[in-house]
Amino acid sequence: MKVLIVDDERLARAELNQLLKEHQDIEVVGEAKNVDEAIEMLNSIQVDLVFLDIQMPEKNGFDLLEALPACPEVVFVTAYDEYAIKAFDVNALDYLLKPVDPNRLKETLDKLRNRISISDEGVTMADKQNRLGLSDRIFIKDGEKCWFVELEKVRMFESEGNYVKVHFENFRPLILRSLNNLEERLDNKSFFRANRKYIINLKWISRIENWFNGGLQVELREGEKVEISRRQAIKFKDLMSL
């Protein structure tokens, strides 16, 4: 596994580096001392896992994740920001407390090895000319709450002014993006622009009905109903037919 360490303190990075040397399959490919450096590195080298400090000057760990199109595997390494960790749902991520305990680090890495080997079977961004596929994860921060969401769990994106509402499970957080911008980034085999207001996940469609004016209405598995405009309906039929 290729690992990037992001922490503003050299000693903290050096120590983690030292601890990771115990693990044969881990290769530290870079160290960044702030968010901007980290973004630069993530754009130029392939990384499987990021050890990320939350408290950093000017831009913090969350800022980094929000700036990335798709979220890499992340382990938060933090001193005492338990409240920041609590922003996440249970099991959404793993985190380590400073000073890092070698045994705890080993447990974390074991869990990650499992998860990464499973998700490798899916289709990820790299295979898709930089479009986000169903097994890619995105990081969402809405106010105090944070989520890591696999795109296959997202039923639809709904435009709300300058924001987009992300529908998954029973959450509907807002992200500061335009729907057009999102449409360009999402894999168009899985996500479909139904009309001006919605992008839907094709996997979640349960029923399709004819609608007025040659449009269609689809029902998602959670009961949401979305109209497909006439113009888009033609494309939709194209896409779905053999």
Partner 1 sequence: MKTQIRIYWLVQLLGWLSYAMIIFLVLYADNKLNWEKISLLSLILILGILVSHSMRWVFKRFNFFNLKPNVLIPRLFLVAFVAALVFQIIYSTVGVYFNRTTDSESLLQFLIDVLLVMFLFVVWIIIYFSYHFVRKSRIEEIKNLQLSDSQKEIELQNLRTQLNPHFLFNALNSIRALIDLEPKLAKESVTKLSNILRNSLLFGRKETVTIEEECEFVKDYLDLEKVRFEERLGIAWEIAPNTTKELIPPLIIQTMVENAIKHGISNLKSGGLVRISTYSQDENLVLEVFNTGVLQTRVDTGVGILNAKRRLALLYGEHAKFDLFQLENEVVARITIKR
Q: Which of residues 60-89 bind partner 1 (CB under 8 A)?
A: 79-80
Q: Is 224 in the site for partner 1 (CB under 8 A)?
A: no
The mark string for 88-127 relative to partner 1 (x by CB under 8 A, - otherwise) is ----------xx----------------------------
Shortest approach of partner 1 to residue 98 CB, angstroms?
6
Binding range to partner 1, per CB under 8 A, among 10-18, 140-148, 166-174, 175-183: 10-18
Quick one: 34 or 135, whose CB is closer to partner 1?
Answer: 34
Listed ranges 5-13, 106-114, 167-175, 221-229: which one lies at the site for partner 1 (CB under 8 A): 5-13
Tally of CA atoms within 13 A in the half-sphere of 204 that contains its CB: 24
Q: Total residues at the site for partner 1 (CB under 8 A)?
A: 16
Is position 152 an interface residue for partner 1 (rule: CB under 8 A)? no
Residue 10 found at the interface with partner 1 (CB under 8 A): yes
- Cα dihedral: 180, 185, 187, 190 (round 10): -50
Closest approach of partner 1 to the CB of residue 99, in Å: 5
The footprint of partner 1 (CB under 8 A) covers: 8-12, 14-15, 18, 34, 36, 57-58, 79-80, 98-99
